[in-house]
Structure 1
Amino acid sequence: MAILRFDIDELVIPAAPGAAGWPDFAAANKVRTEVESEAYGTSDLALTAEETLPGWLNQGWERRRLFVARDAGRIVGCGDYETLPEDSADHAWLAVQVLPAYRRRGIGSALVDRFEAIARAECRRVQIVYTPSPDAPGERLPSPTGFGSVPLGNPEVRFLRGRGYHLEQVVRASRLALPVDPVERRRLREAAAAHAGPDYSVLQWVDRTPPEWLPDLALLYTRMSTDAPSAGLAEPEQLWTPERILQEERKAAAGPRTSLTSAVLHGPSGHLVGFTELEVPADSRRAVSQDDTLVLREHRGRRLGMLLKMANLELLAAERPGHPSVTTFNAEENRHMLTVNEAIGFAPMGYEGAWRRDAH
């Protein structure tokens, strides 16, 4: 194999599509999309550069830096480094993608070296990596949660273990083929509503959250960061406020995706106690992304998760019909949510490992 001479540099995030830095940003996104599509065997998870840009521009609550590797000027690898803005933050999240033809030439190692050096300089002692692990024959490495495993011989598994990362969790990627039969959709929603009882009702909105529900939604987002299963990753709490939601929604409005939200209102308290979101691309030929779903722990056991998901699928069918599928990710130990998804019709399409390294 010929020696590859490559350069690594940090990109300046463009202010808008077509602005300064846009070609490199779009090229890096293309690398990420190609690598992810190869790992999962589908392009259902692909996002356009226009769709990802709003998340990169909103740096007030999560700091993200984008790096690329170039071979003779061509971007052949990319990676991002993310952390929380507080000086006291202990965690950093790392992600690296390298095109298949350029692997095993030191690009991935060079990018991770750079990120670990940044983490060291910022005193981010805990480094976390989420990466897909395609199925393969042979011995497997089990998750310490007791749910799921990854192929021990996979390159990404050997790479991360060699750098001192430990597998903490396995995450399932699932796909729901659309449309869902309307009779079955209605049956599941009505059964869930009957089980929940009259104290609970569903509210829905498109894109902007109604002002009166911003405080409740901020609490739900905050609880999402602590209540979702995170195994030994010990993901930190991320504080959400109404102002943060408004800032996120303003940035998202500049992008081409539509957000559909269903929330459940607990009548006696007058507060929202659960929510679910779908992110819908403008092109109806592309897959929809299932984002956060959460029911507060004190209101679980009433089939509110099923009620929320069926309500949002009905909203999708009414507002934006014609999309081929919905994709979602869940921890393998999150059996309750997986049971809900399987009852709706979601089927596994791949798995990823969640890895942690504690620097000394």
Structure 2
Amino acid sequence: MQISEVDPRDGELLRAWHDTYATAASHERPYAVPWQYEEIRAELLEPGLRRRYSVHAGVVDGEMVAVGELSLPQLDNTTSASLNLGTRPGRRRHGYGAAMLEHLEALAGAAGRTLLNAEISYPYDASTSADLDFATRRGYVVGIGDVMRVLDLPADDESLDRLAAEAAPHHEAYELRSYEGPLPDDVVGSFAALNALLEVEAPTGELEKEAMSPDVAALREEERVRTAQGRSWTTTLALQGDEVVALTVMGTSVHEPHRCYQWGTLVSRAHRGHRLGAAVKVANLRAFAREHPAARTVFTWNAEVNSHMVGINEQLGFRPVERLAELQKRTGGPRPATTPPAAPPS
């Protein structure tokens, strides 16, 4: 198998890559949510301050049989890399996935990355999967287990009214504000500071993670890339004076307006106990629904052990549909990237 990086300016090749990626990601997964072609392309064309992102194709006899993604953080977590791979159904169990993984690991090692991150989805009622077994046999360790939940829209108004009413007496000292699209300058810095803690304030289990950089320029760049991807998003903040103390964000895209995503929700540690998580989620869900009436399904992920946030989501009407394992592998250090041999045994 010949593996090469895909040039995003080569539309034909990138579309072939995306077709293989989406087919592999959606195989036997009724709730799969692969990125759309335009979203991938826009991400690749904007190198970005926060990360370097590349996609890779594995070809056998002119057929693309495997794909890979590699993400290298640039402002924080600079010894880590995130990897994702897929093999076209019907071409599995020929060693193509193993070859792609070896290639991505080599690229990460050559970039000085020694902590590798991966995510694997599998059925909600299963304890493992072939993909999860594949990863653990190659040294990846599950650090935490998440659950994907979905909410059918429109949400139940009585449930939203009840949650908002129960929360209201506890957050009278705070102001709730909702925004569509890029945040105004007067709140973006405080938002960036709190948002940077998402990776370490949410449950992480045994995962090794650092807080993200609160770089406002990087955040503004991310907003521009989202717009180029055809995405739109709604943010609700809780403020005490000028300080953002709670946040939540939902997003959708012009490519799949019926689908939307609960991105991040976080309450500052110093301001917990005021029902701010429930307050901002209810307010944001309502604001989002007004701006995006075509949305029909919300997707969200929570750590199984995050009982507080799971409880709020269940009160909103979310139901579990799939599991997600977050894995890491610690490697020995840099090594040169090489093209793996063709079709090694699995």
How high is the TM-score relative to the length of structure 1? 0.86
Counterpart of 2:2 (choices 7, 26, 34) is: 7
Q: CA separation in 2, counterparts of 1:136 and 1:176?
A: 19
The match for 2:25 is 36
- Post-superposition shift, 1:183? 3.1
**1:283 and 1:110, CA in 2 relative to 1: closer, same or farther beyond 3 A?**
closer
- Post-superposition shift, 1:26? 2.6
- Post-superposition shift, 1:9? 1.0
Does 1:81 find its partner at 2:76? no
Q: Secondary structure at the match of 1:231?
A: coil
Q: Secondary structure at the match of 1:233?
A: coil
How high is the TM-score relative to the length of structure 2? 0.89
The match for 1:24 is 13
Number of matched residues?
Answer: 331
Amino acid at match of 1:305: G
The match for 1:312 is 284
The root-mean-square deviation of aligned C-alpha atoms, in Å, is 2.0
Q: Secondary structure at the match of 1:232?
A: coil
Does 1:202 find its partner at 2:197? no
The equivalences for 1:55-204 within 5 A come to 55-56=43-44, 57-85=46-74, 89-135=78-124, 150-151=127-128, 154-196=129-171, 198-204=172-178
Structure 1 unaligned runs (5+)?
1-5, 14-19, 138-149
**1:155 and 1:179, CA in 2 relative to 1: closer, same or farther beyond 3 A?**
same
Q: Does structure 1 retain, via aligned residues, the 8 Å contact 2:43–2:229?
A: no
Give identity over the alignment, percent: 26
The match for 2:42 is 54
Q: Does structure 1 retain, via aligned residues, the 8 Å contact 2:77–2:212?
A: no
Counterpart of 1:332 (choices 298, 304, 322) is: 304
The match for 1:286 is 258
Q: Does structure 2 retain, via aligned residues, the 8 Å contact 1:39–1:133?
A: no
- Post-superposition shift, 1:136? 6.4
The match for 1:225 is 199
Q: Does structure 1 retain, via aligned residues, the 8 Å contact 2:43–2:53?
A: no
**1:12 and 1:309, CA in 2 relative to 1: closer, same or farther beyond 3 A?**
same
- Post-superposition shift, 1:325? 0.7
Q: CA separation in 2, counterparts of 1:24 and 1:89?
A: 30
The match for 2:190 is 216
Q: CA separation in 2, counterparts of 1:94 and 1:317?
A: 34
Moved more, 24-33 or 108-117: 24-33
Structure 2 unaligned runs (5+)?
333-346
Q: Secondary structure at the match of 2:196?
A: helix
Amino acid at match of 1:69: G
Q: Does structure 2 retain, via aligned residues, the 8 Å contact 1:168–1:355?
A: yes
The match for 2:314 is 342
**1:285 and 1:206, CA in 2 relative to 1: closer, same or farther beyond 3 A?**
closer
Give per-residue Cα distances to partners, 1:145-192, cap 9 Å, x unaligned.
xxxxx32xx221221122111111111111001111223322322322
The equivalences for 1:265-276 within 5 A come to 265-267=239-241, 270-276=242-248
